Amino acid sequence: MVEEKPLTQQFDEELKETLNELLDINEDSEVPGDSIDKLRAMDQRTRSILQKYRAAMREMEVRFEIIDQDLSLKKHRNPIHHVESRLKAPASIFEKLGRYGKEPTLENMEKYVMDIAGLRIICSYISDVYNLLELLKKQDDLEIIKIKDYIANPKPNGYRSLHVLVKVPVYFLDKKEYVPVEVQIRTIAMDFWASLEHDLKYKSVSVVEGIDSYDELKDCSRIIEDVEARMQILARALEVDGEEEEAARA
> Which residues are known catalytic residues?
182
- Per DSSP bridges, beta strands 143-149 and 162-171 are antiparallel
| Cα 175 from chain centre | 26
Cβ-Cβ contacts under 8 Å for 47 (sequence gap 6 or more): 12, 15
